[in-house]
Structure 1
Amino acid sequence: MLLQTTYQSPLGPVILLARADQLVGLWFVGQKYQGSQYDLDQITSGENQILQQTKNWLTAYFAGDNPQIAQLQLAPEVTPFRQQVLTVLAQIPQGQVLTYGEIAKKMSAVSQHPVSPRAVGGAVGHNPISIIIPCHRVVGSDGSLTGYAGGLDRKVALLAHEGFDQKVLAHGRIK
Structure 2
Amino acid sequence: MNNKSTQLQSRSQDKDRKKFTIGGGIVILLIAISPYLFYLYESFPDGQVWETFLFNIETSYLSWYQFAWFLSGKVIPLYLLLIWFFTCKHWWHWIILVPLFMYIFQTWGLINQSRNIDEVELVYMIPVMLIIIPAVYLIRAKVFNKIRGVDDMKAFEEELKTKRTLWDELKDLFR
TM-score (norm 2): 0.21
Q: Which has the higher strand share?
A: 1
TM-score (norm 1): 0.21
| Larger of the two Rg values belongs to structure | 2
Q: Which has the higher helix share?
A: 2
